[in-house]
Chains A and B, each alone.
Chain A
Amino acid sequence: MSTVDLGLPSLPGGLHGVPAASEPQNRKEYVSDQEVRWCPGCGDYAVLAAFQGFLPELGIKRENIAMVSGIGCSSRFPYYLSTYGMHSIHGRAPAIATGLAVARPDLSVWVVTGDGDALSIGGNHLIHSLRRNVNLKILLFNNRIYGLTKGQYSPTSEPGKVTKSTPMGSVDNPFNPVSLALGAEATFVARTIDSDRKHLTSVLRAAAEHRGTAIVEIYQNCPIFNDNAFEAFKDPETRDDAIIPLVHGEPIRFGKEGRLGVVRDGFASLAVKEVADLPNGEADLVVHDAHADDPAYAFALSRLTDAGILHQAPIGIFRAVERPAYDDMVRQQITTAQEAQGTGDLQALVTGSDTWTIN
């Protein structure tokens, strides 16, 4: 088999091709007339409120936003936004959204999914949308539990978790969604927390601006079946030591009075150390580079996330690199074909080159 130079286009912004709104918009315009039906105290409310508040600032036409979701609590999200939306079937939202994004360059396409939807039944579609780098923004609500089916363990639940389907504790090894996305060479990978509206919004803004697939893992509390799974990141007593903040261009330093930091540790690994113990102090810390071409660095960062009960995890944008988007290239091939061969002549096509005539 041979390969060809794809003649890759230079990268436009994430919202390139989406028509701009003629007037400023407000949050209220994005609230649909449907009653929101999540459980009281669900983290989804905070994400919805942040999202409704954030969409107007994109400055694009509301009717050019399309939300596609799968199945699960989070997948009810599209009903509550006055944009175009499809509540599809379990795990398939990235596949459906891929078709939509390819067909419609003038849309801003968002996928709303959860840890079960995206990483279990829909794992295949997720990794392939990331691999292709389709122009999708994927919001992965991770509450580390199955909520809608009433409390079974999920592919992100910690080992040993006791649930209705694992009375003796789960023996499954969990996925780290950020590691998984980086393994698929996703071009934009971030993690945020439902309760930190400011951080959540800043990450969403960066995701929207990204050309290609942007996946944002949102730590989201399920008060009914997995309450306080992310408490370490919210409790004022613990959060400073729990959140490893990722800010591009800055040394990765955190903890009370900045006592902790991230340093290189052996071959392609990173570790958390007391800054005071480092020979050169802060100068030994890793300076975060979200634009590193090799995903190995971001992957090493993602491994600083606890696999079991969460006490510590990096929060922020792990990776944001440029790679041509799948749908842009698919459309470019059509343009190229039409420029070279003209728009197709259907009669000539069906007639072909080898005909005979009966008189």
Chain B
Amino acid sequence: MTIEVKQLDRVVIRFAGDSGDGMQLTGDRFTAETASFGNDLSTLPNFPAEIRAPAGTLPGVSSFQLHFADHDILTPGDAPDVLIAMNPAALKANLRDVPRGATLIVDTADFTARNLKRIGYEQNPLETGELDAYHVIGLNLTGMTVESVKEFGLSRKDASRAKNMYALGLVSWLFQRPVESTITFLETKFASKPDIRDANIAAFRAGYNFGETAEEFSVRYEVKPAKMATGTYRNISGNLALAYGLVAGAQRAGLPLVLGAYPITPASDVLHELSKLKRFNVTTIQAEDEIAGVGAALGASFGGALGVTTSSGPGISLKSETIGLGVMLELPLVVCDIQRAGPSTGMPTKTEQADLLQVMFGRNGEAPLPVLAAQSPADCFAIAVEAARIAITYRTPVIVLSDGYLANGSEPWQIPVVDDLPTIDPNFTLEPNATDDKGAPLYLPYLRDPETLSRAWAIPGTAGLDHRIGGLEKEDKTGNISYDPANHDLMIRTRQAKVDGIARSIDPIEVDDPDGTAKVLVLGWGSTYGPIGAGVRRVRKVGGKVAQAHLRHLNPFPPNLGDLLRSYDKVLVPEMNLGQLAMLLRAKFLVDVVSYAQVRGMPLGAAELAEVIGNLVEETEGIDDDARHLGEAAANLTHGEALNGNEHDLHQSRLGGAR
């Protein structure tokens, strides 16, 4: 049989199964194979909060989506071209996302009347014809897996657990992925359990070979490596990039890093990663609660380390009082909020960006602090380095916003040269910095640098500079307790001016407006960067003129932001909240921005954004409702139509490190 090889410019593939089926691992491995092949890629893991929801049920379905291409891409894709469903529940839970014409590879082993009924199928959907619009490949993957590993003498249950590797092997064949790294991975992962190791490798190989020999497949696909800027790349997830960025920031400042953290989804992986890095003078304290986590970090900062705490929205609520103390003490502190869907416990494993106003204002009194947001998984590295720079230079708590989508998603990252990262000077005070009225040397802990307004920082152990600080309002310069009304007003305004002044140290926001004639600007922040960029490309592809800019500094804003907003007729602000950035922009700049708000626990889709953007572009150009077509045309673009072309490369995070 000859097998045709079909060239594709991009593919979106989704692996779906029970929480216990190993879909995240399967997705990770396929990602690693794809990265090493040289495709550009973007991933979206999606899993339930329950560790093992009941098997075979809809709430228990876990999935991993990967978008890979021969060109620069920005999102994990709106809709899968290929769905691998390991049971009926996985098929049912994911089918609504799969466009007609897509390929469904289904493990038929669990399609029994009982299992089908449990999830509301009266009849077997593989037999009723309801999937006729799809290219369905039904295979007994479980059965074939068990058969392929029988020589290892495992129980049927243990044997069938290798079915994810069988499926991975099959898909690796289908898309011509290099398989060596997965074999090596399995050899390492299961080194201490030879039976399991050999069974997984055998299942993986069997799946690959099945593709080669079976007649179900007449076509293989090829997605050529992407043309990317020259350099050395790796794949990296947001949480790993954040952990490495924090270490890099501390190292560039020459300070030990002390993390105080309490486990919370989706932030725990930062704790896990940093816990492995003790050789970098990284201390991790798994605290008794969120408050103790940030407390330990602040205590370490008082001692001259870089104190860091990592959490998600509910934990940030608990840390608020201590963060306020950090504002008052004017000590460095990096607080990472890996946002998840709220309010309250919300949807722990789903993404959202609804903590912006909490971190901006969620403290008693006037307690301003800098807020940064990463725009892509790899950008978490640069943002963490930037947070360390600001925290140490300005002696202030800094909030870093990431979210579940960035935390678990991954993308290729052009590896930075660490020696090119900025150096950060803690500028500890070692000598008295003033004299008293008799001319005797004196240390004033709240004497400020005239440029940055940051205070003098002497750490315990420095002879002659002992002093006491606390949460009570302090007198200007001396730091002594003060209830003086004029002093309080001065200190409130000084702390605000210090944070506002950070804007002088950050770059103006760059706008992507190819010929400078767009009337509509799309402005976003955080993880919407990818979907917005993809939506903007779609609109341009069908002839619309639209500009894009993305905020990484949310407090203070870049110095030119107001002028930029006022230079466009309309500003669209898409967010995964009810318009929090839009509220800030209106309040600060009196610009009536257009908010586009979706809060579904999922990233915004490129096609939906394209439609919204296209409609706004035409509205702004005075085109009547019924004559508009851009939005629909942009939304309906397929595959390569939407993505090819020579648009301006939007991947700032891949090109530059932290400034």
A residues within 8 Å of B by Cβ?
32, 34, 61-68, 71, 78-79, 81-89, 92, 95-104, 106-107, 124-125, 128, 330-331, 333-334, 336-338, 340-344, 346-347, 349-352, 354-359
Contact = CB atoms under 8 A, between A and B. Distances in A.
A85 B329 CA distance: 12
B584 interface: no
A358 B279 contact: no
- Select the residue from A67, A125, A349 with max chain B CB neighbours within 10 A: A349
B466 A349 contact: no
Interface of B: 32, 35-36, 38, 181, 227-236, 244, 247-248, 251, 256, 258, 260, 277-283, 285, 287-289, 291-292, 295-305, 307, 321-322, 325, 329, 381, 415-419, 460-472, 480-481
Given A102-B296, A342-B279, A349 B305 contact: no
A103 B461 contact: no
A124 B318 CA distance: 14
A330 B286 CA distance: 11
A95 B291 contact: yes
B461 A106 contact: yes
A337 B278 contact: yes
B272 to A, nearest CB: 14
A67 B329 CA distance: 15
Nearest to B293: A95
- Select the residue from A66, A95, A341 with max chain B CB neighbours within 10 A: A95
Given A64-B460, A124-B288, A331-B283, 16 more contacts: A63-B461, A66-B302, A84-B466, A84-B468, A86-B470, A88-B470, A89-B321, A95-B292, A98-B299, A124-B289, A330-B283, A334-B279, A338-B279, A343-B281, A344-B281, A354-B36
Contacts, number: 214
Contact of B247 (A66, A85, A98, A346): A346
- Select the residue from A96, A103, A338 with max chain B CB neighbours within 10 A: A103
Nearest to A101: B299
- Select the residue from B247, B287, B415, B461 with max chain A CB neighbours within 10 A: B461
Contacts of A106: 461
A141 B301 CA distance: 27
A1 to B, nearest CB: 14
Nearest to A341: B279
Contact of B460 (A96, A107, A355): A107
B300 A100 contact: yes
A98 B460 contact: no
A352 B234 contact: yes
B466 A62 contact: yes
Contact of A103 (B35, B258, B287): B258
A279 to B, nearest CB: 48
Nearest to B233: A356
Contacts of A355: 232-234, 415
A334 B283 contact: yes
A333 B415 CA distance: 29
A213 to B, nearest CB: 14
B325 A88 contact: yes
B38 A349 contact: no
Given A102-B258, A347-B418, A63 B463 contact: yes
Given A99-B296, A128-B292, A330-B283, A351 B322 contact: no
A103 B304 contact: yes
Contacts of B468: 32, 34, 67, 78-79, 81, 84-87
Contact of B230 (A65, A330, A358): A358
A128 B292 CA distance: 10
Contacts of A71: 471
Contact of A104 (B227, B251, B325, B461): B461
A90 to B, nearest CB: 8
Nearest to B462: A63
8 contacts: A85-B470, A86-B469, A87-B468, A88-B471, A99-B300, A100-B460, A128-B292, A337-B279
A261 to B, nearest CB: 40
B470 A87 contact: yes
A-B residue pairs, 4 tightest by C-beta:
A87-B470, A99-B299, A95-B295, A99-B296
Contacts of A331: 283
Nearest to B236: A352
A344 B256 CA distance: 12
Contacts of B235: 354
A61 B463 contact: yes
- Select the residue from A61, A65, A92 with max chain B CB neighbours within 10 A: A92
B278 A333 contact: yes
Given A96-B299, A350-B418, A102 B283 contact: yes
Contacts of A356: 35-36, 38, 232-234
Contact of B300 (A78, A103, A338, A352): A103
